């Protein structure tokens, strides 16, 4: 992705064209099923695998287009997360197709529907090592964070999520194999298991997609042609000096500004963005300005924005300041690495095309902070998320009912 430049196209990538291969594959498989399902089982598998491959290619192509159009978008998360899941389904059907051709006495058409029905549950089990490692990292991160910052609820989010992740996979594994009774009872049992697996699948795809999207935007190196650089506030000490976290953001901004001036000779204007909390002696903006001036930045090169109280207001009020100076100026923003993606989303919501640079943070802070960002992203675009999750649940419900008919 390194060769892709952000914000270089003016048209959003669309995926409506994927309906064509989906419809064609459905028609072909329907005809094969009607003519002789047992004879053409292998061919049906190949068509299904080919469809997965086409959709994966479409998602990755859309991802590249989305990065060139607007990298700070929920679409980036969806494309990454579900492309990974479909890759698993593709490999599964390729293996099944080989087995259908080489061992037809052991595998038949019923295996195709069965594999699709179990895809969410199998994906959870296959990716469990990743989930387990991530959960352990969350617990270690939270323990270290609690030791440094105290027992606050936000510092327990990682432990709670890790317990839910491991417990969910364990529940599916045990529940899926503890079944007996009539055909209807077994169908209801499978329906419940598949519904839970579909929900977990969605949130796992979102989690993986969020982590991947943030890695992409953090690793991106903005062009050294910026006119403004917004520094997002995040709290100051009792004496009015920046906290280590905030100082990291300021130092990262200084590093970028100096590198730009060294490469192109172009100076930029720092926009220090952050209001004054009830327990702060001065505004975060004033604290950042003072720190910048101590590092040799002239006052004329600093613009204060001291009204904001959260990231959304950081972006909105900073844009107002910038528009008063140069409406056509090129903008970047500096924040902590785990916060870049969500900050970029807030920037785009106020119609400000800005790219982010991320400051490093301590190891014990990142996993828990990543969870906070993930939870924060889940609270937005509820309608879109409800549609996707609802469609996923409906798909597995239909497949479960069909498999018992």
**What confidence tens digit (pLDDT) does each residue in 92-110 have?**
888 888 878 787 776 666 6
> Do both 287 and 355 map to the same domain?
yes
**Residue 268: predicted pLDDT:** 97
Out of 204-213, 258-267, 359-368, pick the least confident: 359-368
Out of 255-259, 323-327, 391-395, pick the least confident: 391-395
> Do both 184 and 281 map to the same domain?
no
Domain boundary among 117, 141, 168: 117
pLDDT interval class at 405 (50, 70, 90): low
> Do both 357 and 370 map to the same domain?
no
The predicted model gives 267-278 an average pLDDT of 94
> Do both 315 and 256 map to the same domain?
yes
> Do both 101 and 5 map to the same domain?
yes
CA pair distance 180, 187, nearest whole angstrom: 10
The predicted model gives 388-404 an average pLDDT of 81
**Residue 45: predicted pLDDT:** 86
> Do both 32 and 148 map to the same domain?
no
Domain boundary among 69, 95, 117: 117
* Total number of domains constituting the chain: 3
> Do both 102 and 140 map to the same domain?
no
**Residue 155: predicted pLDDT:** 67
> Do both 209 and 236 map to the same domain?
no
More confident residue, 211 or 25: 25
**CB contact at 8 A, 53 and 90:** yes
* pTM summary value: 0.84
> Do both 164 and 102 map to the same domain?
no
CATH number at 243 reads 3.40.50.620
Pairing between strand 228-232 and 331-336? parallel
**Residue 100: predicted pLDDT:** 80
> Do both 135 and 208 map to the same domain?
yes
The predicted model gives 164-176 an average pLDDT of 81
Give the residue from 315, 321, 231, 327 showing the smallest Cα distance to 270: 231
Segments forming the whole domain that contains residue 141: 120-219+364-405
The predicted model gives 274-286 an average pLDDT of 91
**Residue 150: predicted pLDDT:** 67
Q: Using alpha carbons only, give the angle 316, 328, 352 rounded to the nearest 5 degrees.
A: 30
**Residue 178: predicted pLDDT:** 67
> Do both 257 and 193 map to the same domain?
no
> Do both 125 and 182 map to the same domain?
yes
More confident residue, 354 or 29: 354
pLDDT interval class at 231 (50, 70, 90): very high
List all residues 6 or more positions away from 200 whose beta carbon is below 8 Å from its beta carbon: 120, 124, 168, 169, 172
pLDDT interval class at 318 (50, 70, 90): very high
Domain boundary among 117, 143, 171: 117
CA pair distance 341, 343, nearest whole angstrom: 5
What average pLDDT does the structure give for the chain?
87
Query: Would you say residue 1 has pLDDT above 60?
Result: no
Element (H, E) at 331: strand 331-336
More confident residue, 389 or 105: 389
């Amino acid at each position: 992705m390194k060769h892709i430049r952000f914000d270089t196209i003016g048209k959003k990538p669309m995926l409506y064209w994927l309906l064509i291969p989906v419809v064609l594959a459905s028609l072909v498989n329907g005809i094969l099923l009607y003519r002789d399902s047992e004879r053409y089982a292998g061919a049906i598998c190949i068509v299904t695998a080919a469809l997965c491959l086409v959709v994966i290619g479409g998602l990755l192509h859309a991802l590249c287009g989305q990065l060139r159009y607007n990298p700070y978008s929920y679409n980036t998360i969806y494309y990454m997360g579900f492309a990974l899941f479909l890759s698993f389904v593709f490999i599964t059907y390729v293996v099944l197709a080989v087995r259908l051709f080489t061992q037809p006495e052991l595998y038949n058409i019923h295996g195709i529907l069965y594999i699709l029905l179990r895809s969410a549950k199998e994906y959870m089990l296959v990716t469990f090592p990743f989930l387990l490692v991530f959960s352990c990292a969350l617990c270690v991160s939270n323990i270290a964070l609690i030791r440094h910052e105290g027992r606050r609820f936000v510092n327990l989010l990682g432990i709670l999520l890790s317990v839910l992740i491991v417990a969910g996979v364990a529940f599916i594994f045990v529940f899926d194999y503890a079944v007996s009774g009539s055909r209807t009872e077994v169908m209801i049992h499978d329906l419940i298991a598949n519904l839970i697996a579909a929900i977990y699948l969605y949130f796992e795809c979102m989690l993986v997609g969020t982590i991947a999207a943030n890695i992409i935007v953090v690793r991106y190196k903005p062009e050294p042609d910026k006119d403004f650089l917004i520094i997002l506030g995040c709290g100051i000490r009792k004496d009015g000096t920046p906290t280590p976290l905030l100082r990291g953001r300021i130092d990262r901004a200084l590093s970028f500004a100096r590198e730009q001036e060294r490469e192109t000779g172009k100076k930029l204007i720092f926009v220090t963005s952050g209001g004054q909390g009830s327990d702060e002696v001065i505004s975060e903006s004033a604290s950042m300005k003072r720190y910048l001036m101590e590092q040799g930045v002239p006052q004329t090169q600093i613009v204060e924005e001291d009204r904001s109280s959260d990231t959304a207001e950081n972006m909105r009020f900073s844009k107002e300041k910038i528009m008063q100076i140069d409406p056509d100026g090129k903008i970047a923003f500096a924040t902590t690495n785990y916060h870049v993606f969500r900050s970029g989303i807030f920037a785009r919501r106020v119609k400000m095309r800005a790219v982010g640079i991320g400051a490093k943070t301590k190891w014990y802070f990142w996993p828990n902070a990543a969870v906070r960002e993930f939870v924060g992203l889940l609270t937005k675009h509820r309608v879109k998320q409800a549609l996707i999750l609802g469609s996923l649940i409906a798909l597995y419900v239909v497949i479960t009912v069909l498999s018992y008919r």
